[in-house]
Amino acid sequence: MVQTAEQEPYPEVMCATEKTLTEQRALYGPTGRMEAVGPVGKGTLNPHSHDKPVMARLWMISEDAKGFSWSLPPN
């Protein structure tokens, strides 16, 4: 939305190709103003982003909204 077309896909490409990114549960994206613009780096994750019940509910709501169910293996 505020990055250029060239900058927008960089976080995904970086996460898929950079061997130095070893932290499994991290957010990478713009690090400038409101984490919406600027150079790409490690961003801020809110505490609820690691909350399993919140993740499960979001997954369920997303499946319901799309009308698609993806079976996940038990934890």
Predicted local distance difference test score (pLDDT) of residue 74 = 72
Task: Please indicate, yes or no, if residue 1 is contained in any of the structural domains.
Answer: no
Predicted local distance difference test score (pLDDT) of residue 75 = 65
pTM of structure: 0.59
- Which H, E and C letters describe the chain, residue by residue? CCCCCCCCCHHHHHHHHCCCCCCCCCCEEECCHHHCCCCEEECCCCHHHHCHHHHHHHHHHHHHHHCCCCCCCCC
Residues 55-72: tens digit of each pLDDT = 899 989 999 999 988 776
Residues 2-59: tens digit of each pLDDT = 778 888 888 888 888 988 887 878 888 888 889 888 888 899 988 888 899 998 999 8
49 lies in which domain range? 10-66
Task: Please indicate, yes or no, if residue 48 is contained in any of the structural domains.
Answer: yes
Predicted local distance difference test score (pLDDT) of residue 19 = 87
Question: How many domains is the chain partitioned into structurally?
Answer: 1
